[in-house]
Chains A and B, each alone.
Chain A
Amino acid sequence: DIQMTQSPSTLSVSVGDRVTITCRASQSVSSWLAWYQQKPGKAPKLLVYMASSLESGVPSRFSGSGSGTEFTLTISSLQPDDFATYYCQQYNSYSRTFGQGTKVEIK
C-alpha cells in the first residue's frame, strides 16, 4: 500500500494566519490526491481533488498544489470556521490511503 505522511501533526495558529500543510506519498500518486476537512463528530468534507481542483462550494482561501510525491494544502487567511483536522488521501490505486491528519487549533 502507498503510505501517506502529513506534517505537522498539530498547528497552533491565529485567525488571519496563512496555514500550510504538507503531505508526502511513499511513491508517486501523480495528481490523484485529495484533501478533506473534518470537524468533531462529523463526516469529512472534500475540499480539493486532483491535487489542485477546488470542490464546488469550497471557499477560495483554500488551495492545493503538488504532484508525484509532494503535496501542499494552503489556507491563505484562516477563518474561525477553519479550525478542524485536515487529511490528505491518495486515490492513485484502488487501495485508498490517508495521511494521519493535521489538527489546526487556536493559538
Chain B
Amino acid sequence: QVQLVQSGAEVKKPGASVKVSCKASGYAFTSYGISWLRQAPGQGLEWVGWISAYNGNTYYAQKVQGRVTMTTDTSTSTVYMELRSLRSEDTAVYYCARDIIAGRIPFDYWGQGTLVTVSS
C-alpha cells in the first residue's frame, strides 16, 4: 500500500533552518512527484512547492521562493524540504503529498504531517 512517512516534530529559533523528510513506499517512486503543503495553527492549507521524483525539477510558491529547497534521494525513495531563515509565521504542520503536475489526480496520498514550531 502507498505510504508517505514524514520525520518528527521540530522546534527552531527564528533565523534557523529546518529540513523535513518524506519517505515513500508502495509505488513507483520516480513515476510521481511530491508536493509540500503547510497548515498554520487554526488556518487553511497552503501549497509550498513541488518536486519531480523523476528528474528533480521543482516549482516553489512565490511566498517561500528563495528560502526553500526541495530535493530527492531515489536510492531511499525520500524527498526532503529545507526551509531557511525561519520566521514565526512559518510555524505550521507541514505535509507531503503525492502529486503529478498535469496529472488528473492530485494529492491522493498524504504524509502524517510534521509540526515545525519557530519560537525564540
Contact = CB atoms under 8 A, between A and B. Distances in A.
Contacts of B95: 43-44
A1 B62 CA distance: 9
**Closest 5 interchain pairs by CB?**
A43-B110, A96-B47, A94-B59, A98-B45, A91-B106
Task: State the main secondary structure of chain B at its contact with A.
Answer: loop
A97 B46 CA distance: 7
Interface string A58-89: 00000000000000000000000000000101
A38 B107 CA distance: 13
Interface of A: 1, 34, 36, 38, 43-46, 49-50, 53, 55, 87, 89, 91, 94-101
Given A43-B95, A87-B45, A96 B113 contact: no
B112 interface: yes
A83 B61 CA distance: 31
B80 interface: no
Q: Interface residues of B toward A: which range?
A: 20 to 34
A34 B62 CA distance: 22
Contacts of B26: none
Contacts of B101: 94
Contact of A98 (B47, B50, B110): B47
